[in-house]
Copies of this chain bind each other. A is one copy, B any other.
Amino acid sequence: MKDRMTPAGMAGHTQRGQCAKRMSILDAAADVFCRQGFAGASIDEIAAVACVSRQTIYNHYREKETLFVAVVEDVMNRANAMLFSVLSSFPEKADNLEDGLTEFAVRLNKNCICNHDGKFLRKLVQTEGERYPHLFESWRQQGPGKLTTALSALLARLAHKGVLVIDDFDVAARQFVALANADLQMMTLFGETPTDEELDKAARNAVRTFLKAYGRPADKAGRPPELAAIAG
């Protein structure tokens, strides 16, 4: 149903257990919980979507709540791995900064924020956040928290190189993310998935504004910031 590739599951997270059925259940449950919310989701529907008998679900998860928690943890693990991967692709090179940041923003939106898992988590956090505070506090830390922290550090390095001029790195990081989402927020809220073209346009708008605000201004000779930085 989803995009779960190998039956062996991913790296070494939680319990990957008796693969096939278990994964099928997790995916189906994620789907149904996301559409109907915790209260609205019925075990029978999850079983039907997973092509599994109800008893099998209860064999793996003691009760509805156990399943719910497992689903959220599973999706969070995938999302964290993805976020790590995307953060690793942050452009280090100062030359062609605009293109580098734009592609980074595209990847961030496409794989972490507008993608299935990202929408799932945000939706569930908002829906059931009060009921499971600890689960969602950990989401907050590992998701948006980690993103801001990491991005802040990455921006600081660029600022240190002299490519960017930033007074408050945390604020700049949050603003980068906010700008990157500005044009897509509404689509994402409604469950629509942006096309590659829309992703690119949104990222370009965001980075242009971000660099107008934080980019190193052209020096007196009128050289663009990258060259000016290289020239010292």
Contact = CB atoms under 8 A, between A and B. Distances in A.
Contacts of A127: 37, 123, 126-127
Given A144-B186, A179-B175, A186-B144, A191 B37 contact: no
A39 interface: yes
A102 interface: no
Given A35-B130, A213-B212, A182 B191 contact: no
A114 B91 CA distance: 34
B168 A205 contact: yes
A189 B126 contact: yes
Nearest to A201: B171
Given A171-B183, A177-B182, 18 more contacts: A39-B39, A122-B189, A123-B126, A125-B189, A125-B190, A126-B189, A129-B189, A130-B191, A136-B190, A144-B186, A174-B183, A174-B185, A175-B179, A178-B182, A210-B213, A212-B212, A212-B213, A212-B214
A35 to B, nearest CB: 7
Interface string A171-199: 11011011101110110011100000000
A33 B28 CA distance: 26
A64 to B, nearest CB: 13
Given A183-B171, A205-B171, A36 B35 contact: no
- Stoichiometry, copies per complex: 2
Contacts of A209: 171-172, 175, 213-214
27 contacts: A35-B130, A37-B37, A37-B39, A37-B127, A38-B40, A40-B40, A122-B126, A123-B127, A125-B189, A126-B126, A127-B127, A129-B189, A140-B186, A140-B190, A171-B182, A171-B183, A171-B209, A174-B185, A175-B179, A175-B209, A177-B182, A178-B178, A178-B181, A179-B179, A209-B213, A212-B213, A213-B213
A123 B130 CA distance: 13
Contacts of A174: 182-183, 185
Contacts of A206: 175
